[in-house]
Homo-oligomer: A and B are copies of this chain.
């Protein structure tokens, strides 16, 4: 990447937000594997004067178990630094009096322990992989179609992610299936929802132009951050595909080989 392509926030930059899967690690058997250089890159950011948060649409595990997994891979990360859709959804459900029918990974269920789930008046779906059976999706559909005003919350809206040696359908595909079947528009909780990105900025006490998002998902990470006024950089790891660099609607402020390169560029510009 030519230096001239790098977003020119340089010394005004005060905070960095990192996507996790596909940037820090690749998922797969046994919890996945760290992407080369990413553990060291996180260390460098933590040693700098920049604020750092992690923003994930991860919904396979609750945050505690998820952070434990990342720690086992070698990352220095704490739960309070991680923003994920389930806690954001719980806040929305309670605020608006919704009782969800849940179609999510079993590992995510503890996040919803405090929510009334009797006599559901909405559906919440997250990435559920093998749990996306016809029967389970049909059950969610029947709950929605039986409601006078069906409401669907989707924990993220991703198209697909990288899983081991291939790509895997993400929750967004199933969200679209239910949207079409029920003739409704889902409310996305998580990236690329502006509300979600804003909650991360609020936590850092920063304005959008002071923050940079780094992710492997052009639309949800880069485009989502840009829609909030942040700069967005894409890494060529994870679900990155060469065609992303000629996408019809989203153009990254910069594209780098991996997180290690991104962090080197960021820190170089500050000195």
Contact = CB atoms under 8 A, between A and B. Distances in A.
A22 to B, nearest CB: 15
Given A133-B133, A133-B134, A176 B180 contact: yes
Contact of A134 (B159, B160, B169, B183): B169
A181 B177 contact: no
B137 A169 contact: yes
B173 A145 contact: no
Contact of A181 (B133, B145, B159): B159
A129 interface: yes
The size class of the interface chain A forms with chain B is: 20 to 34
Nearest to A175: B180
Contact of A173 (B128, B168, B170, B178): B178
B130 A168 contact: no
A135 B134 CA distance: 11
A45 to B, nearest CB: 32
A177 B169 contact: yes
A217 B176 CA distance: 20
Interface string A99-131: 000000000000000000000000000001111
A129 B134 CA distance: 6
Interface of A: 128-135, 137-138, 141-142, 145, 159-160, 166-170, 172-174, 176-183
